[in-house]
Structure 1
Amino acid sequence: MPINNYKNKSNHPSEPAEIQIARLGFIAATIVTLGDGLAALAAGLALQELEKANNQNSQPQYDQSKQIDSTQKQIDYLIKELKQIKKILS
């Protein structure tokens, strides 16, 4: 879609194209950063599972619950960050 058509259909039609392009770049960088964070979290979880399988020792249920809680907090943090960025851009 040409920039002129995009400019006419945007939420902020009076903004210069450079600002709209910069805003789009910021959104893309934010999404990539959050994606990288989730990928790192997934890699960490996979590593934990491989180490656990390698040791052949099952952890007590309490330790597993703590790990799950920690992972959930990290995911909640990433979601909170994404919501804050969404508010900034609105």
Structure 2
Amino acid sequence: MANKNDYKNNQNVESPEIIAAKLTLLGSTLSTIGDGLQAIAAGITLQELVNPSKQNSQNNSHQSDQSKQIERLQKQVDQLMRQVQRGNWL
């Protein structure tokens, strides 16, 4: 029986080459996952760099529209003030 136990124990022990191959596979897999994460992070960074410029152009357009509205309101106020000064406010 001692021989059977020794035989089973010897079968469960993996050779150093197999262990090294498994570690190489694990390392390569982790490296590939890391590269994928790095590519995703680069994509997200690129989107963040592109989107603010779109938002800035939209903000500039919105500010331009607001400036035009303010100018129109100022003209209306000026007209109303002239009418009030002349007594034609009704």
Q: Report the TM-score when normalising by structure 1.
A: 0.47
Q: Determine which structure has more spread, i.e. the larger CA radius of gyration.
A: 2
Of structures 1 and 2, the one with the larger relative CO (CA 8 A, separation 6+) is 1
